[in-house]
Structure 1
Amino acid sequence: MKLYYSPGACSLAPHIVLCEAGLQFETEQVDLGQKKTASGGDYAKINPKGYVPALILDDGSLLTEAGVVVQYIADQKPEAGLAPKPGTMARYHYMEWINFIATEIHKGFGPLWNAQALAQTKDAAKIQLGKRFAIVETALTDRAYLTGDVFSAADAYLFTVTNWSHMHHIDLGPWPKLSAFMSRVVQRPKVQEAMKAEGLVQ
């Protein structure tokens, strides 16, 4: 497998899951502004959507969208325990979290990345993100991770997008359980491995 990524973008989530699963994979950085890969390739020809992640499977097929890519990777190594067993209620709750992260948190950061967005638009986006963080905070009251005491691909996705908070001056102090979650996840060796590979930490 080959993962196309941009440092610190949502593609960090599948990068983390690949490391946690212990799978063999390659990576290639993408300049999203120029739509060029590190090797000089035209990224638009690899992923016509133009954004990351893009995962090229061993048979040459393409998989995109962070929430789907992390689930696919987790399912390639069931013994790693990165996803509940298919068909179980735990599995549906896990999928529920991934969908929530994709549509409510990941998407919620959209206005904050837009240099043309008005200040009031960005302020409103931060308020909405706070409401979403409050939902996560409640869920983490009695558990270490989103689906219980075991780290899953959903946690990798939550960590990745919530990590953008500091770039937009969002203090996680009002959500101590979420803040503790972030501290716990960043200390995981495989998370550090992925972040170091992307140049995010020393």
Structure 2
Amino acid sequence: MKLYYSPGACSLSPHIVAQEAGIALQLVKVDTKTRRTESGADFLAINPKGYVPTLELDDGEVLTEGPAIVQYLADLKPASGLAPANGTLARYRLQEMLGYINSELHKSYSPLFKPDTPEATRQERKDYLRKRYALLDAVLARQPWLLGERFTAADAYLFTVTNWARHVDLDLSDFPAVLAFQKRAAERPAVQAAMDAEGLARRATAAA
């Protein structure tokens, strides 16, 4: 399988999941500005949406959208525990958390990466994100991972997006449980392997 990725982007999440599950992926780097792969291929011909992550299966099928991709990868290796079994309440809890991260965190970061975003909008988004992190801080204050005692695909996603905070000057110092989570996740060998493969620094202290 091929994972089309951009270093440090949301595609890091399925990359971590694959590393945790022991799934070998062929990494294909994408320039998200030119929409070209590192070999010069037209990425839009592969994924008309034009963004990562994109997973190309061995039979040529293409799967897009991070929450779908991480569940697909986790289900390839059910013993990994990265996704609870289909049909269980725990699986819906995973989907609930993936949806929350996707809609409330991930998309709220997007304007902060654009240099032409007005300062008022930038501040509004930061305030919005802090309110959403408050809920997660309460969850992580009582358990090590989002769903309890076991690392799941949701944790890979949260680690990935929260790692963006230091790049957009989002202060998360009011959320010690979130920062402890980031440190805990960054110490996992699979997370380190994914970050190394993408040429990323392992420093993941979001308050920095």
- The number of residues matched between the two structures is 202
Q: How far off its partner does 1:155 sit? A: 0.3
Q: How far off its partner does 1:5 sit? A: 0.2
Higher relative contact order (CA 8 A, sep 6+): 1
Superposed CA offset, 1:103-139 (max 9, x none): 0000110210222210000000000000010010111
Q: How far off its partner does 1:176 sit? A: 0.3
> CA–CA distance in 2 between the matches of 1:187 and 1:172?
19
> CA–CA distance in 2 between the matches of 1:95 and 1:103?
12
Runs (4+) of structure 1 exceeding 3 A deviation are none
For structure 2, list consecutive stretches of 5 or more residues without a partner in the other structure. 203-208
Q: How far off its partner does 1:192 sit? A: 0.3
Superposed CA offset, 1:33-63 (max 9, x none): 1111011111110111011011001111010
Q: How far off its partner does 1:171 sit? A: 2.1
Query: Is residue 63 from structure 1 mapped to residue 59 from structure 2 by the alignment?
Result: no
Look up the SS of the partner of 1:111 in the other structure. helix
Name which of structure 1's ranges 122-131 and 30-39 shifts more when overlaid on structure 2: 30-39
Look up the SS of the partner of 2:163 in the other structure. helix
> 1:73-88, aligned counterparts within 5 Å?
73-88=73-88
Superposed CA offset, 1:145-190 (max 9, x none): 0000100000000000010000011122100000000000001001
Residue in structure 2 matched with residue 128 of structure 1 by the alignment: 128
Residue in structure 1 matched with residue 194 of structure 2 by the alignment: 194
Residue in structure 1 matched with residue 179 of structure 2 by the alignment: 179
Residue in structure 2 matched with residue 45 of structure 1 by the alignment: 45
Name which of structure 1's ranges 164-173 and 4-13 shifts more when overlaid on structure 2: 164-173
Name which of structure 1's ranges 78-87 and 182-191 shifts more when overlaid on structure 2: 78-87
> CA–CA distance in 2 between the matches of 1:201 and 1:122?
26
CA RMSD, Structure 1 to Structure 2 (Å): 0.9
Determine what percentage of the aligned residue pairs are the same residue: 50
The question of whether the paired residues in 2 share the 8 Å contact of 1:47 and 1:54 is answered with yes
1:131 counterpart letter in structure 2: K
| Higher relative helix content | 1
2:101 counterpart letter in structure 1: I
Residue in structure 2 matched with residue 140 of structure 1 by the alignment: 140
> CA–CA distance in 1 between the matches of 2:49 and 2:127?
29
The question of whether the paired residues in 2 share the 8 Å contact of 1:192 and 1:201 is answered with no
The question of whether the paired residues in 2 share the 8 Å contact of 1:83 and 1:152 is answered with yes
Q: How far off its partner does 1:10 sit? A: 0.2
Residue in structure 2 matched with residue 110 of structure 1 by the alignment: 110
The question of whether the paired residues in 2 share the 8 Å contact of 1:137 and 1:175 is answered with yes
